[in-house]
Amino acid sequence: MAQLGEVVLNQEDTPMTADQLANALHEADVVCPTVTDAMPAELFSGSDLRAKLLANFGVGFNHIDLAAAAAKGIAVTNTPGVLTDATAEIAFTLLMMSARRTGEGERHLRAGQWHGWRPTHMLSTQVTGKTLGLIGMGRIGTAFARMAHQGLGMRILYFNRQAVDDAVAAELQTEFVSLEELLQRADFVSLHCPSTPQTHHLLNAERLALMQPNAHLINTARGDVVDEAALVAALQTGVIAGAGLDVFEDEPHLSPGLMELEQVVLLPHMGSGTTETREAMGMRALANVEAFLAGDSMPDLVRA
Ligand code: DGY
pLDDT tens track for 274-299: 999 999 999 999 999 999 999 999 99
pLDDT digits (tens, 9 = 90+) for 160-171: 999 999 999 999
Q: How far is CA 74 from the centre of its chain?
A: 25
pTM of this structure: 0.96
Q: Is residue 7 part of a domain?
A: no
- For residue 119, how far is its CA from the centre of ligand 1 (angstroms)? 41
If pLDDT is split at 50, 70 and 90, which confidence band does 5 have? confident
101 and 239 belong to one structural domain:
yes
Mutate to test the pocket of ligand 1, among 13, 32, 34, 35 (most ligand atoms within 8 A of CB): 35
pLDDT digits (tens, 9 = 90+) for 201-243: 999 999 999 999 999 999 999 999 999 999 999 999 999 999 9
pLDDT averaged over every residue in the chain? 97
C-beta of residue 185 within 8 angstroms of C-beta of residue 215: no
33 and 175 belong to one structural domain:
no
If pLDDT is split at 50, 70 and 90, which confidence band does 113 have? very high
pLDDT digits (tens, 9 = 90+) for 32-76: 999 999 999 999 998 899 999 999 999 999 999 999 999 999 999
pLDDT at residue 293, rounded to an integer: 96
If pLDDT is split at 50, 70 and 90, which confidence band does 302 have? very high
Expressed as residue numbers, the domain containing 228 is 84-266
172 and 217 belong to one structural domain:
yes
Q: Is 75 in the pocket of ligand 1 (CB under 6 A)?
A: no
Share of the chain above pLDDT 70, in %: 99
pLDDT at residue 13, rounded to an integer: 84
Work out how many domains the chain is built from and give that number: 2
Q: Is residue 236 part of a domain?
A: yes
pLDDT at residue 12, rounded to an integer: 86
CA quadruple 43, 45, 49, 55: dihedral sign: positive
Residue 2 has pLDDT above 70, yes or no: no
Mapped onto helix, strand or coil, the DSSP state of residue 253 is: strand
If pLDDT is split at 50, 70 and 90, which confidence band does 4 have? confident
**Bridge partners of residue 31, in order along the sequence:** 54
Helical axes 275-294 vs 84-100, angle rounded to 10°? 150
Q: Is 83 in the pocket of ligand 1 (CB under 6 A)?
A: yes
Beta strands in 23-83 (DSSP E): 30-31, 53-55, 75-77
118 and 140 belong to one structural domain:
yes
Considering only CA atoms, which residue is closest to atom 2 of ligand 1? 58
Q: What angle do CA 294, 299, 302 make, to 5 degrees?
A: 110
- The rounded distance, in Å, linking the Cα atoms of 91 and 140 is 9
Residue 14 has pLDDT above 90, yes or no: no
pLDDT at residue 94, rounded to an integer: 99
Q: How far is CA 63 from the centre of its chain?
A: 13
C-beta of residue 63 within 8 angstroms of C-beta of residue 224: no
**Bridge partners of residue 175, in order along the sequence:** 157
- The rounded distance, in Å, linking the Cα atoms of 161 and 135 is 10
Peptide bond connecting 252 to the previous residue in cis, omega within 30 degrees of 0: yes
If pLDDT is split at 50, 70 and 90, which confidence band does 150 have? very high
252 and 292 belong to one structural domain:
no
69 and 23 belong to one structural domain:
yes
